[in-house]
């Protein structure tokens, strides 16, 4: 009897393993269900030869509700739930100080701009690989009616600057990256623990660049999967874009790497939590509020990003 029980348990384990191996990891979000994602990016940019470092921690939270889902596409309603920028500065005595613009404690003008975006609804279409199709409809942040109540006493140049900063914190590129970084990491076919696959993408930690990531399925217990990834980051035919201290920049001669670990829900493919560590060497060219390269000289810099993702 004891031997029969052991054989039964072993057979069950084998069957369970085979079922998991035959069922591909894929995004399977349930219609009318909502999912939350919040990420914190701890960013340090060190300019070579200038003894200058910019340090900021940015938070972006989204609520994603599935309007419809089929074999090809998922239609999503999206809303901002939290936006924050924490800038770490040195005073004249070399002491650290923090300027916080946070929707959860809206004490600065920029925080009030962010706060006006909370609950604003926009729409996204994901294909079965988790890639956003086309534009995010309704995400146009440059909207006078949206900011009318806080811009009443602000002149046009100031309004443009703060709207620009809002776009840098939560504009289309940033939000696309926020979504795709948690939806486009899965393999095309069935995979077993130890299996490897490669994904090419253009968004990581708020950076738009050419990114090739090799993922490995570390563990799959039928409920939770653990995935590790290693990415190569560089330029492709389009110039890489990033935001530093609320200012857009072009990144050229970009070369970097990233290491990441995710745990995800086996049933729906939604990431539960994750960590990403990015290091890049690059040349930086500041942009003006029109998105054009400024007359400022190009600087060489090292970008380090530590990202934490917590989802529900």
The predicted-structure confidence for 241-279, as pLDDT tens digits, reads as follows 888 777 888 888 999 999 999 999 998 889 999 999 999
Listed in sequence order, the DSSP H helices in 152-259 are 156-170, 172-183
Taking only Cα atoms into account, the Rg of the chain, rounded to an integer number of angstroms, comes to 22
Written as six digits, the tokens of 19 are 């079922």
Task: Give the whole-angstrom CA distance, residue 129 versus residue 172.
Answer: 19
The share of the chain scoring above pLDDT 90, in percent, equals 32
Place of tokens 């596409």: 73
User: For 97, how many CA atoms within 13 A lie in the half-sphere containing its CB?
Assistant: 8
pLDDT at position 142: 46
Whether 220 shows a pLDDT value over 90: the answer reads: yes
User: For 105, how many CA atoms within 13 A lie in the half-sphere containing its CB?
Assistant: 5
User: Chain-centre distance of CA 39, in angstroms?
Assistant: 7
Q: Are 74 and 27 in contact (CB under 8 A)?
A: yes
The 10s digit of each residue's pLDDT in 125-184 is 988 778 888 878 776 654 554 555 565 666 777 777 777 777 777 778 788 888 888 888
CA dist 271 → 18, 212, 266 (Å): 23, 19, 9
How big is the CA angle at 35 (ends 34 and 41), to the nearest 5 degrees? 150
Written as six digits, the tokens of 9 are 């348990």
pLDDT band at 4; cut points 50, 70, 90? very low
Written as six digits, the tokens of 287 are 């942009």
Of 133, 63, 57, the C-alpha closest to 304 is 57
pLDDT at position 95: 74
Residue 93 bridge partners (DSSP):
none
Place of tokens 């990491």: 185
pTM above 0.85, yes or no: no
Task: Give the whole-angstrom CA distance, residue 114 versus residue 108.
Answer: 10
Written as six digits, the tokens of 197 are 């696959």
Listed in sequence order, the DSSP H helices in the chain are 2-22, 109-117, 144-151, 156-170, 172-183
How big is the CA angle at 241 (ends 60 and 284), to the nearest 5 degrees? 115
5: left (phi over 0), alpha (psi -120 to 50) or beta: alpha
Task: Give the whole-angstrom CA distance, residue 289 versus residue 270.
Answer: 35
E strand or H helix that includes residue 303? strand 299-311
Kindly state the greatest CA–CA separation across the chain.
84
Task: Give the whole-angstrom CA distance, residue 166 versus residue 247.
Answer: 10
């Amino acid at each position: 009897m004891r031997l029969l029980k052991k054989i039964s348990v072993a057979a069950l384990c084998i069957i369970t393993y085979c079922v998991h191996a035959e069922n591909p990891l894929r995004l399977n979000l349930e219609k009318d269900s909502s999912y939350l994602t919040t990420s914190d990016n701890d960013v340090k940019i060190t300019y070579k030869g200038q003894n200058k470092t910019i340090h900021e921690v940015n938070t972006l939270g989204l609520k994603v509700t599935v309007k419809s889902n089929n074999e090809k596409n998922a239609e999503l309603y999206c809303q901002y739930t939290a936006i924050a920028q924490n800038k770490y500065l040195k005073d004249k005595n070399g002491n650290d100080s923090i300027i916080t613009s946070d929707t959860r404690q809206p004490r600065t003008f920029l925080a009030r701009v962010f706060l006006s975006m909370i609950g604003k609804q926009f729409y996204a279409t994901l294909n079965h690989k988790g890639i956003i199709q086309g534009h995010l409809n309704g995400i146009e942040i440059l909207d006078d009616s949206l900011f009318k109540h806080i811009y009443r006493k602000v002149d046009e140049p100031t309004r443009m600057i703060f709207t620009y900063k809002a776009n840098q914190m939560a504009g289309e590129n940033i939000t696309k990256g926020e979504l795709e970084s948690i939806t486009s990491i899965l393999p095309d076919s069935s995979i077993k623990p130890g299996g490897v696959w490669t994904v090419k993408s253009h968004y990581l930690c708020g950076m738009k660049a050419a990114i090739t990531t090799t993922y490995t399925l570390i563990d799959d217990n039928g409920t939770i999967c653990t995935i590790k990834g290693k990415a190569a980051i560089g330029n492709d035919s389009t110039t890489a874009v990033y935001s530093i201290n609320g200012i857009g920049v072009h990144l050229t001669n970009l070369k970097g790497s990233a290491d990441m670990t995710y745990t995800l829900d086996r049933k729906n493919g939604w990431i539960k939590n994750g960590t990403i560590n990015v290091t890049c060497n690059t040349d930086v060219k500041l942009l003006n509020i029109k998105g054009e390269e400024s007359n400022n000289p190009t600087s060489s810099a090292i970008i380090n990003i530590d990202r934490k993702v917590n989802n529900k």
